[in-house]
């Protein structure tokens, strides 16, 4: 009897907690993020109406989940919302665990010297510290032109997803392993043909390794879906199935 009563109390507590969380989201976070992102985040503005509320919930969840660490820069709530929107863009239809491997986001006021490579960077991911790093001016540069296939936020979060998939695939699912292998086979074949195609759709930076190829492909999938589908239909198709999104249908 006591066990049944305990389970009932636990269920009631969780139900009330979830209800209170939903009321708070509907009354505050949802409307605030909607007003801001409708003007500042191109992807959200063109999302189908049915996807806007789930997207805003993801933005709120990432906003509360990540530890934001500013380095000689004032990091505003609006800046955090922009960063969280890119994370939410990639994982909108991926498993809930996606990107939970990463704990903190560091933001610099410009290019910075990486403690890992001792080189100047605009962004990087550090799985040992579970950290994703960005240069804020480079973020804004990527958002200024949403159709050029150059987006630091999408690039680094794509790295984060790829690494998380590789490190945690025996614990939880991030990306479908069958689709990841299909992408790898396509990318390996494409890399071998680089020297016969000096004017490749992807910038040459993509051909450094598989991780960079994936990150550049993701940038183009979301920012230039129609040109990508026309130039490299196999890549568009596998990314469409991997992310369960069809940006070509609603990206102008």
Dump pLDDT digits (tens) for 6-42. Answer: 665 565 545 545 455 665 656 557 677 888 899 899 9
Q: What would the two tokens of residue 201 be?
A: 């759709």
- Asked whether the predicted pLDDT for residue 142 surpasses 80, the reply is yes
Give the model's pLDDT for residue 17.
52
pLDDT tens-digit map of 177-195: 999 999 999 999 988 876 5
Highest-confidence range of 25-29, 117-121, 227-231, by mean pLDDT?
227-231
Which stretch of 9-23, 78-92, 119-133 has the lowest confidence by average pLDDT? 9-23
- Asked whether the predicted pLDDT for residue 196 surpasses 80, the reply is no
Query: Is the separation of the CB atoms in 156 and 126 below 8 Å?
Result: no
The pTM of the full predicted model, rounded to 2 decimals, is 0.89
- Asked whether the predicted pLDDT for residue 252 surpasses 90, the reply is no
- Asked whether the predicted pLDDT for residue 78 surpasses 70, the reply is yes
pLDDT-derived band of residue 117, with 50, 70 and 90 as boundaries?
Answer: confident
Give the model's pLDDT for residue 209.
93
In the sheet with 67-70, reading across from the earlier edge strand, the strands are 67-70, 104-108, 131-135, 123-126
Q: What would the two tokens of residue 245 be?
A: 């999104």
Contacts 24+ apart (CB under 8 A), 49-57: 51/92, 54/92, 55/88, 55/89, 55/92, 56/25, 56/29, 56/30, 57/25, 57/30
First to last CA, the chain: 60
Stretch 53-69: mean pLDDT: 95
Query: Higher model confidence: residue 62 or residue 144?
Result: 62
Q: What would the two tokens of residue 159 be?
A: 């790295």
- Asked whether the predicted pLDDT for residue 66 surpasses 60, the reply is yes
Q: Percent of the chain at pLDDT above 70?
A: 86
Which stretch of 92-101, 104-113, 183-192 has the lowest confidence by average pLDDT? 183-192
Q: Among the CATH numbers 1.10.10.10, 3.50.50.60, 2.60.40.150, 1.10.472.150, which is that of 1-140?
A: 1.10.472.150
Query: Higher model confidence: residue 193 or residue 3?
Result: 193
Q: Closest Cα to residue 96, out of 125, 65, 58?
A: 58
Pseudo-torsion of CA 129, 134, 135, 141, nearest 10°?
170
Phi first, then psi: give them for residue 241, nearest 5 degrees. -75, -35
Query: Is the separation of the CB atoms in 81 and 59 below 8 Å?
Result: yes
- Asked whether the predicted pLDDT for residue 119 surpasses 70, the reply is yes
Quote the CA–CA distance of 50 and 20 in Å, as a whole number. 23
Quote the CA–CA distance of 198 and 212 in Å, as a whole number. 18
Q: What is the mean pLDDT of the chain?
A: 89
Stretch 186-213: mean pLDDT: 83
């Amino acid at each position: 009897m006591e066990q049944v009563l305990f389970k009932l109390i636990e269920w009631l507590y969780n139900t009330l907690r979830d209800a209170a969380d939903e009321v708070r989201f509907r009354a505050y976070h949802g409307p605030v993020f909607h007003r801001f992102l409708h003007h500042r985040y191109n992807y959200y503005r063109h999302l189908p109406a049915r996807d806007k509320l789930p997207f805003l919930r993801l933005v709120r969840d990432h906003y509360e989940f990540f530890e934001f660490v500013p380095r000689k820069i004032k990091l505003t709530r609006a800046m955090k919302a922009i960063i969280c929107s890119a994370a939410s863009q990639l994982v909108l239809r991926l498993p809930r665990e996606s990107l939970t491997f990463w704990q903190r986001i560091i933001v610099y006021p410009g290019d910075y010297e990486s403690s890992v490579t001792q080189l100047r960077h605009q962004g990087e991911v550090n799985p040992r510290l579970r950290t994703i790093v960005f240069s804020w001016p480079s973020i804004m540069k990527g958002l200024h032109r949403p159709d050029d296939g150059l987006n630091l936020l999408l690039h680094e979060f794509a790295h984060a997803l790829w690494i998380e998939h590789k490190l945690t695939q025996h614990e939880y699912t991030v990306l479908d392993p069958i689709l990841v292998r299909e992408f790898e086979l396509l990318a390996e074949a494409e890399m071998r043909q680089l020297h016969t195609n000096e004017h490749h759709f992807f910038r040459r930076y993509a051909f450094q390794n598989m991780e960079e190829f994936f990150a550049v492909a993701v940038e183009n999938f979301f920012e230039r879906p129609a040109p990508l589908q026309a130039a490299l239909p196999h890549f568009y198709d596998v990314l469409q199935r991997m992310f369960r999104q069809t940006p070509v249908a609603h990206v102008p």
